[in-house]
Chains A and B, each alone.
Chain A
Amino acid sequence: MATKPKLFYFRGRGRMESIRWLLAAAGVEFEEEFIETTEQYEKLLKDGRLLFGQVPMVEIDGMVLTQTRAILSYLAAKYDLYGKDLKETVRINMYTDGTLDLMLMIAVAAFKPPAEKEESLALVVKRAKTRYFPVFEKILKDHGEDFLVGNKFSWADIQLLEAILMVEELDASVLPEFPLLKAFKTRISNIPTIKKFLQPGSQRKPPPDSHYVEVVRSVLHF
């Protein structure tokens, strides 16, 4: 019997959340070990399980993987969410690189002083409205299909939904000007594995709060 993937990270979204989404959407059960103390972190370092001394780290298929994008690409390929050929894969990569850029801006903003944080988050909303969402709205409009790439559910769809929900948390008014994204959001949210992940009690994490920031700062010493 295959062992479940095990995720090592703080108890919060950060850079691990996209990995949780991808596993959940693929219907893969996973375990989590939450880093709460410096001692835990130092043990991981000492045991040599963090290649560059960093998390996220995921134990899966006999490998100890770090680097968010390496983990995401592996999972997407493994669970057939990466397109059917190279041209589809590159489109999925272009779209997910874009949405990941946007979501990492949000993750990083949590650690800024209040005024800077507000400015950063305002920029995220602006970028979403002017740079990212129009692109995806147009893609959906141009091909008229249900999914972003190849008329098939892929990692690109999962990550776009994740990004839409995160931006809506910052500004609930963004979506109305993007009717196809609005329909996309409903459609993808209703996929059974994703619907389950969106219910309370799932492994989805809440937005970063001051406690989360405190824990991360104290463990990573910054």
Chain B
Amino acid sequence: MCDQTFLVNVFGSCDKCFKQRALRPVFKKSQQLSYCSTCAEIMATEALHENETLASLKSEAESLKGKLEEERAKLHDVELHQVAERVEALGQFVMKTRRTLKGHGNKVLCMDWCKDKRRIVSSSQDGKVIVWDSFTTNKEHAVTMPCTWVMACAYAPSGCAIACGGLDNKCSVYPLTFDKNENMAAKKKSVAMHTNYLSACSFTNSDMQILTASGDGTCALWDVESGQLLQSFHGHGADVLCLDLAPSETGNTFVSGGCDKKAMVWDMRSGQCVQAFETHESDINSVRYYPSGDAFASGSDDATCRLYDLRADREVAIYSKESIIFGASSVDFSLSGRLLFAGYNDYTINVWDVLKGSRVSILFGHENRVSTLRVSPDGTAFCSGSWDHTLRVRSSRPAWAIW
């Protein structure tokens, strides 16, 4: 396995002319076909009817987008920080590092909490995936993936398995075993197959389904048992970097963010994009739902985090400061949604007051960029992973506490 990302050249028979050629993936009405380059060129021009030109379609799309913006603006009668003026300001936070997890030999790229509120799985650039009991800082399991840059990892809801993937373009599920005679890698199950790197993965409400996002511009829902593709989601114009499942009652949607600066909300059943937001100025590295499920936050390379409301269908807040120059790599909310934690590429973590839009505190400590950040399932702490090979678990002590 090599480090480079390159396009896999599939050689086979073209779906249109059936000649044996080098094939390229082509999308016709969300269906993926393989055309040779000649047929692909022909298709690009064939798709136009007599009265349509590419230019006229483009201008129609532009004017509709303009009208959409107008409609959205009509209902925007107040800003968040205005409404939040009457909310009490937050007190001082004494947010300190309570645990430092050392053991990775290279950059930590991703981490996820277990539902038991103390275990963590983390993955790094050298292919190692480690499961820790972060309360005692003991390592419980370790797996070495056959690829480098393991950019995605997730803990199964039952706590009995983990999923991970990266430059191998796959997402693999490893059941966790304490049997000393068993090699964890032996029971590995290859679930997802993409045509480019895996950037994010997440189990749905059970161990049996996984949602993945990839550098090939698509997201996909897979059945773990059989590896079958249940649904694919096309619409991003570039790599998809992150995703998050909605905490809604009906549990049907998720949001994804990508290098095309768009955040898109998808219906898992139909594969359709339900809503899209395009206000960021650079790649969106991380998306996370607000705990009520009515909004989500995004962190981007343009050094801002933004809050998008799904019912109002617009961006409602920007969290930025002139002194924050580096991109935000990961964001997460506290349990009540009042605090937004964001890890940045300048090694810091900024804590934002979601309602007032102001920064509550800035946390130092990491010696290289913060690549991943998640609040624990019961909201007692948050963990940040960094390119400095460590993970830190931080928590705050309220002023009244004597412990």
Is chain B a partner of chain A in the same complex? no
Question: Which residues of B pack against A, CB within 8 Å?
Answer: none
